[in-house]
Amino acid sequence: MNSNSQPSSTPAASTAGQPFNTLPLSPAILATLQQLEYHTMTPIQAASLPITLAGHDLIAQAKTGSGKTAAFALALLTRLNPRHFAVQAMVLCPTRELADQVTQEIRRLARSEDNIKILSLCGGSTMRPQMASLEHGAHIVVGTPGRIMDHLQRESLKLDALNTLVLDEADRMLDMGFYDDIAFVAKQCPLERQTLNVLGHLSRRHHPPGTPFPA
């Protein structure tokens, strides 16, 4: 979906508690959810997944522990083509700790798919090993805005095939002064993409650059 289109915001979820098999998810993903004992949807999952699985942009409010990672991870995994070995989804996080948690959860949800490569690109680690990993290709990258920007400037990260951009805890990233970094990264992404913004607090002060806030 074009990043300049009007995103949907999540309404109060009336379908929370419904099983995941009511959604258009692949049998492999549904089997993985059963193995992980994810039997019914949390409110954020019930409100957002019908929107994101339909390909729409999203602005959602959700706190840690709400099931928000699975909410956006299931959407990006559904759009992923494992046979196309290029970065198709990117998740920006405010901290290395959150990026590591998100990476682990996506790996858990993707374990039924063969050869899906997920890389964590965060500050605090040397660039060279990350660049070497990128040279071998990846389907999904998760990282902090500054380090993602570094890789883009060095041209070690290519986003030509990107179809999903996730800003996790976008309000926190803006509070930490990452506005310019996020704006730079967003400009390197294809215009035709799905953009998912997850906020801890929903306000006009906390909408990411280049993404119109719903009226």
Domain boundaries, the chain: 8-203
Rounded to whole angstroms, how far apart are CA atoms 165 and 22?
A: 25
**Could you list the pLDDT tens digit for every one of the 215 residues in the chain?**
444 445 655 544 445 689 999 999 999 999 999 999 999 999 999 999 999 999 999 999 887 778 999 999 999 999 999 999 999 999 999 999 999 999 999 999 999 887 899 999 999 889 999 999 999 999 999 999 999 999 999 999 999 999 999 999 999 999 999 999 999 999 999 999 999 999 876 555 545 554 543 32
Question: pLDDT, tens digit, for every residue of 108-165?
Answer: 999 988 789 999 999 988 999 999 999 999 999 999 999 999 999 999 999 999 999 9
* CATH number belonging to domain 8-203: 3.40.50.300
Q: Which two tokens stand for residue 165?
A: 């951009």
* pTM recorded for the entire structure: 0.88
List b or e across 116-132, with b for residues whose CB sees 16 or more CB atoms inside 10 angstroms: bbbbbbbeeeeeeebbe
Burial class (CB in 10 A: 0-12, 13-18, 19+), 91: buried
Select from 196, 145, 210 the least CA-distant residue to 175: 145
